[in-house]
Amino acid sequence: MSRTREYGTWPSPISPQLAASSAPRIDGARFVGDDVWWGESVPAEGGRMTVRSRRLGTLLPAPWSVGSRVHEYGGGAWTASEDGRLFFVERTDQRVWEFSPGGAPRPLTEPDRGERFGGLDWQHGRLLAVRETHAAERAVRHDIVEIVPGHRPAVVHLAGGSDFVAHPALSPDGTRLAWIGWDHPDMPWDRARLRVGRIGPDGVVDAATVAGGASAPVQPTWVDPDALLYADDVTGRWNLWRVTVSADLPTHPVAPADADTGGAVWVLGTRWYRVLADGRIVAVRTNGGDELVVVDEATGVTSALGVDVTANASVADVRGSRVLITGSGMHSAASVWLVDADDPAHAERVAGGPLGWDAAWTPQPRAVTFDGPHGPVHAFDYPPTAPGITGPEADKPPYLVFVHGGPTSHTAPAASAKIAFFTSRGIGVLDVNYGGSTGYGRAYRERLRGQWGVVDVADVAAAATGLAAAGRADAGRLAIEGGSAGGWTVLAALTDTDVFAAGISRYGVGDARALAEDTHDFESRYLDGLIGPLPQAEQLYRRRSPLSRPERFRVPVLLLQGEDDPVVPPAQAEAIRAALAARGIPHALVMYPGESHGFRRPDTVADVLEKELAFLGAVFGFAPDGIAPLALD
C-alpha cells in the first residue's frame, strides 16, 4: 500500500555519501596477456585513479594516481603492453612512468620541463603519446611523440604542425603515422584534419592531409598497411569512412547511418569503434542514447551487440572476436564489459555494476522532445521514483532541470547516482540536450554557433515549460542546475527568463569576456565560435554575460566553486556573489579547497549533493528528510 508524502521530503536510502561513493569512475580497459586491466577511481582514497587487474587486483598502489592534464581535461592517461608493463601519467607531476606488477614505478620523462602527456597508446610494440609543452602562459605547443622505454628512456618527436593534435595511429608495419590536427580558432568538432605521412629515418613524419578541413574527422585506425578507417561528419553525422592512402582514390562510406560514430574530442582516450580480427567493426552509434553495434562491411549487415551501455560508451579494446566496452547503462553504473561478438548474449561485467541500492529506487528515463523557438529540444525526463511512496494527488512535483557543460557535450539516458539522489526524494529531474549538444548531428550542434546565451537559454526554458504544460511538473517549482558552461546557461536563464524559481551554478561562467582572458589554451578561442571573435564582438560579450545585467537577478542562487579551478577561476563565482548581495537576492557561495574544474573527492561530491538538496528545500519550502538546513545570505 502506497504512502503519501510531500514532494521533496520522501525518505531515501540514497544518502549523499552513498551517492558520492557508489559508482567509481572507470577510465579505459585493456587486454593484457590472458588478463584484463582497467582504470578505476578509489573513493575511499580521495578519488585517486588506479589501475586494476582481473587476476591481480589493484596494480598501482597509493599514493600513485593516474591522471593527465593535456587540454586540462586529459584522457588516455594509461596504457599497457602485451607483456604486462603499465605506462601511466602521474597526476601530480604529469610525467610518464613505467610500472611492472611487483616492482616500483620508474620515470620515462624528465621533471620540471613544463610538459604534460596524454593519449598514451601502446601500438605494435611502441608507446605513442600527445605531448603538451608550456613555454609560457598561452605559449603552448602540442605534438605527437614516441616514448622509448629502456635503460636510457627517450622522447622522440614524430609529428606536429597544428595547434592541437590527437589520436595518433601507427600503421601495422610501423612505416606510417596517422593523426588528427586542428588549429585556433576552431575546436576539434568544428574543423579538423586527418593527416598521414611516412616516418622518416630521423623519426619525423612528413605528412599530407587526406580528409577534413571543412569537417571534423576523428580516430583514424589502420586496417592494413595502406588502408585507414576513420570517422567524419561530412554528411552531417559522424560515420565511418575508408581511404587508401597510397592511391588517388575517393574515400567511401562504411555502413552509413543517421547516428553518430564519433563525438567531441574533449578527452583523448575515447574510442568510438574498434576492428575485430576478422575485419568486422564494433562501433558506438549515438542518437540521443548510445548503442553498440557490429558492422560486417563485407556483407553490409549491422547488428546490435545488446550490452547494457547507453551512455559514455567507448570500445576500449579488442582481441580476436572479444571486445572490452566501458560505459553506463539503464540498469548499471559505469562498468567494464567483456563481450564476444560471436556470442553477445553472454556478455560479462568485469568491473563496476549496480549502484548500491534496490533497482526500484532508480528512475527509468523517458526521451522527450519539446518545441522551442529555434527548433526541437531533446531531453530525458526522470520522474520522482520511490517504492511505495507517492506525492499528494493535488500537487505536481518540483523539478530540477539539468544543463550539461561544454556546451558542446551531451547527456544520455542511464542510471545515475546523482539523479536517483533527487528522484528518490520526490524531486524530478529533466536532463536537457539543448541546441549545441552532440549526439544529434552537426546541424543540431551548430544551432549554438554565435548564439551561446541565446539558443541554450531558450531551449532549457522551452523544455521546462513544456514539461510543466504537459502536467508532469509544478510550473512554480522549477529549478535549474549546471556546471561550467552549464552554469553560464543557469545564470543567463535566471536573468533572461522568468521560468525558474531558483538556480544552482557549479563553477559557472558569469562573465564571458573574463573567461576569454583567463581560460586555458585549449578553450582560449572557443568563444570565437560561440559568441564571436574579439575585439570585434566586445559589446556582444558584455550584453550576453549575466554579470552585465545584475539587476535582473530575481530568484535565489546557490554557487559551488573549486578554489583551484584553472578553467573558470573562483573570481567569477565571487563576482556573482557580490552582484547577488548588492541586490539583496538570497544566495550562498560554497568554496571547496583542493578542487579544480569538476568535483572529484567523494567528501566534496557528498557535500555538494547535501547543499543542493538543502537549497531546494529552503527555496521551495519543504524539509528534506535527514538533511541539515542551509542558511542563505
- 511 and 412 fall within a common domain: yes
Among the candidates 255, 271, 287, a domain finishes at 271
Model confidence at 232: pLDDT above 70: yes
Residue 16 lies in a domain: no
Residue 23 lies in a domain: no
pLDDT at 396: 97
Contact assessment for residue 322 and residue 340, using Cβ atoms and an 8 Å cutoff? yes
Residue-range definition of the domain harbouring residue 281: 272-354
- 267 and 282 fall within a common domain: no
Burial pattern 147-168, b for ≥16 Cβ within 10 A else e, equals bebeeebebeebbbbbbbbbbb
Instruction: Please report how many Cα atoms fall inside a 13 Å half-sphere around the Cα of residue 145, on the Cβ side.
Output: 24
Model confidence at 21: pLDDT above 90: no
- 266 and 283 fall within a common domain: no
Neighbouring-strand partners of residue 328:
311
- 252 and 280 fall within a common domain: no
- 256 and 289 fall within a common domain: no
The count of structural domains within the chain is 3
Neighbouring-strand partners of residue 89:
96
Residue 6 lies in a domain: no
CATH code for the domain of 225: 2.120.10.30
Burial class of residue 85, CB neighbours in 10 A (0-12, 13-18, 19+): middle
Model confidence at 182: pLDDT above 60: yes
Separation of alpha carbons 327 and 174, rounded Å: 31
Model confidence at 531: pLDDT above 60: yes
Residue 13 lies in a domain: no
Residue 139 lies in a domain: yes
Residue 20 lies in a domain: no
> How do residues 552-607 score in pLDDT, each as one tens digit?
999 999 999 999 888 788 988 999 999 999 999 999 999 999 888 888 888 899 99
Neighbouring-strand partners of residue 114:
none
Residue 59 lies in a domain: yes
pLDDT at 569: 84
pTM of the predicted model over 0.75: yes
153: left (phi over 0), alpha (psi -120 to 50) or beta: beta
pLDDT at 43: 83
Contacts of 552 (CB under 8 A, 6+ apart): 494, 495, 496
- Please report which confidence band the pLDDT of residue 630 belongs to, taking 50, 70 and 90 as the band edges: very high
C-alpha to C-alpha distances, 456 to 311, 416, 450, 530, nearest whole angstrom: 22, 23, 11, 11
Among the candidates 291, 320, 354, a domain finishes at 354
Q: What is the DSSP string of 33-83?
A: TTEEEEEEEEGGGTTEEEEEETTTEE-S-TT--B---TTTT----EEE-TT
Model confidence at 404: pLDDT above 90: yes
CA atoms 372, 373, 374, 375: torsion sign: positive
Model confidence at 207: pLDDT above 90: no
> How do residues 154-165 score in pLDDT, each as one tens digit?
999 999 999 999
- 375 and 509 fall within a common domain: yes
Q: Strand 322-328: give its sheet, edge to edge.
A: 311-319, 322-328, 335-340, 348-352
Model confidence at 1: pLDDT above 60: no
Any idea of the CA torsion for 463, 469, 475, 480, to the nearest 10 degrees?
Answer: -10
Among the candidates 271, 295, 321, a domain finishes at 271
pLDDT at 514: 86
Model confidence at 543: pLDDT above 60: yes
Model confidence at 494: pLDDT above 60: yes
Please state the rounded mean pLDDT for residues 285-310. Answer: 93
Beta strand segments in 185-310, E: 193-199, 205-212, 218-224, 227-232, 239-244, 252-254, 273-275, 281-287, 289-296, 301-304
- 446 and 565 fall within a common domain: yes
Mean of per-residue pLDDT scores for the chain: 94
The DSSP code for 255 is: S
- Please report which confidence band the pLDDT of residue 137 belongs to, taking 50, 70 and 90 as the band edges: low
- 224 and 297 fall within a common domain: no
Model confidence at 247: pLDDT above 80: no
- 238 and 312 fall within a common domain: no
Residue 22 lies in a domain: no
- Please report which confidence band the pLDDT of residue 138 belongs to, taking 50, 70 and 90 as the band edges: low
> How do residues 102-123 score in pLDDT, each as one tens digit?
899 999 999 988 999 999 999 9
pLDDT at 201: 84
> How do residues 405-451 score in pLDDT, each as one tens digit?
999 999 999 999 999 999 999 999 999 999 999 999 999 999 999 99
Give the SS3 label for residue 152.
coil
Separation of alpha carbons 435 and 448, rounded Å: 6
- Residue 556: is the preceding peptide bond cis (ω within 30°)? no
- Please report which confidence band the pLDDT of residue 136 belongs to, taking 50, 70 and 90 as the band edges: low
Burial class of residue 286, CB neighbours in 10 A (0-12, 13-18, 19+): buried
- 413 and 539 fall within a common domain: yes
- 376 and 338 fall within a common domain: no
- 117 and 40 fall within a common domain: yes
